[in-house]
Amino acid sequence: MYELDYSKRTRFCIPGGYNTYQMLILDVNNESTPAVLEQAVKVLQAGGLIIFPTETTYGAGVDVTNPVAVQKLLTYKSRREGKPLSIAVADQKQAEKYVELNDQAKTLYRQFLPGPVTVISKVLPGTVAPGVASEFGTLGVRIPDYPLILDLVRMLGRPITATSANGSGKPRPYTIESVFKNLSAKQASLVDLVLDAGTLPSNPPSTVIDTTMSTPVTVRSGKVAVDQAGNNDHRTLVSTSEDETLSLAGKRCLMHWGDITEKGLVIGLNGPLGVGKTVFAKGVAKFLWIDEKITSPTYSYIQEYDFKRHDTAGKLYHLDMWKVDSEEAFERLEIGSLLMPSNVLVIEWFDQVAPWLLPIIKQSNLELIVIDIKQDSNDRIFQIS
């Protein structure tokens, strides 16, 4: 049994609050490493939440197989609204117990891990608690380039979550003080143990690469240059099936979920008849939890659907602009009135109305994605701008 210096318990007063919380803060630079690991494993095995250092930022960790612990972490992070968690493993062998690694993923593991790269793969059913993997059945995996955490995961015998320790929407923390500065009293009370490594280098977050599509997609740029790790600019994607197109549309919406809730989102689709524009719209509707049947509004111009995803309610507008051939016809549709937070517009034949709609979108400060779809044999090529 290793001894810890419990006289170094730290009292944290949460700014703006009335409560002072006493918790064990272990100075990992001065405490015995075996003692630190023993205490951290004990907390994790009991379903506790720890704050720990990595090569990118401070993270928040729980046992990924413990549903109660994962729910505690989701409460700590607050307002995730379907955003998945990533996990930290000790090595590729451990990763393969939780995800299915294809050739793309194995190449990335060899080239970049351990290191600041998160590789998204298909999760193996029943391996992690609800709330860890994404709604698409995928899971992001990291092998941190931080010996203390690798030893911790090995000693625990299963992965821990690798999400950053900030609450959702708050700055990434590089000191323990900055962690607690941006937490509410309720969030701070959920922390059971802190591993304090002092001030961490202000490194970018990990690069996140999705290997579950026909082409690897860089979901988030980070410390590793995207042209080294995956598709150069994640702007050209390939779909080999209708199901993959549905998934591609949903993942694109998840990437822009913050834009949807804060400003609204316009997705402009271009491409010939039968190339998959309406299939993409169906993928957006599926992501928004819309159960109604989605059909092309060629003759009605606009179809409206209500949605409620987690705590966000809004509308999906599916538009077909194929027959809109004049500014007068465009103005009669009053599309500008649809541009608002929590609304998503999917516009087929976007180029038909782009000269008149682009100034309105710019003035409304909405996020715009324009996708040109082409057919290559049985595949669909999505060029995103």
Cβ neighbours around 233 below 10 Å, total: 12
Residues 187 and 240 in one domain: no
> Reduced to 3 states, what is the DSSP secondary structure of residue 15?
coil
Q: Domain ends where: 196, 224, 248? A: 196
| Cα 28 from Cα 195, distance rounded (Å) | 6
Closest CA relative to residue 360, chosen from 385, 333, 337: 337
**Residue-wise pLDDT tens digits, 336-372:** 999 999 999 999 999 999 999 999 999 988 899 999 9
pTM of structure: 0.83
Residues 170 and 45 in one domain: yes
Contact 173, 180 (CB under 8 A): no
Residues 170 and 239 in one domain: no
Pair of tokens at residue 120: 């998204």
| Cα 248 from Cα 238, distance rounded (Å) | 9
Q: Which residues, 6 or more positions from 177, have their beta carbon under 8 angstroms from its beta carbon? A: none
**Residue-wise pLDDT tens digits, 20-49:** 556 789 999 999 999 999 999 999 999 999
Pair of tokens at residue 90: 């000790």
Pair of tokens at residue 183: 């937490």
Contact 278, 295 (CB under 8 A): yes
Residues 64 and 150 in one domain: yes
Residue 69 lies in a domain: yes
Closest CA relative to residue 153, chosen from 73, 37, 25: 37
Residue 260 lies in a domain: yes
Contact 361, 370 (CB under 8 A): no
**Residue-wise pLDDT tens digits, 196-224:** 999 999 998 899 999 998 888 888 877 66
Domain containing 355: what range?
235-384
**Residue-wise pLDDT tens digits, 38-87:** 999 999 999 999 999 999 999 999 999 999 999 999 999 986 677 889 99
Residues 248 and 109 in one domain: no
Sorting pLDDT into bands at 50, 70 and 90, what band is 309? very high
Q: Which residues, 6 or more positions from 171, have their beta carbon under 8 angstroms from its beta carbon? A: 178, 182
pLDDT at 365: 85
DSSP states of 195-241 as a string? EE--SPP-----EEEE-SSSS-EEEE--SS-HHHHSSSSS-EEEE-S
Instruction: Work out the percent of the chain whose per-residue pLDDT is above 70.
Output: 91
CATH number for the domain spanning 310: value is 3.40.50.300
Residues 131 and 258 in one domain: no
To the nearest whole number, what is the mean pLDDT of the chain?
90
Residue 299 lies in a domain: yes
Residues 164 and 249 in one domain: no
**Residue-wise pLDDT tens digits, 112-162:** 999 999 999 999 999 999 999 999 999 999 999 999 999 999 999 999 999
Contact 105, 211 (CB under 8 A): yes
Query: Is residue 12 scored above 70 in pLDDT?
Result: no
Total structural domains in the chain? 2
Residue 64 lies in a domain: yes
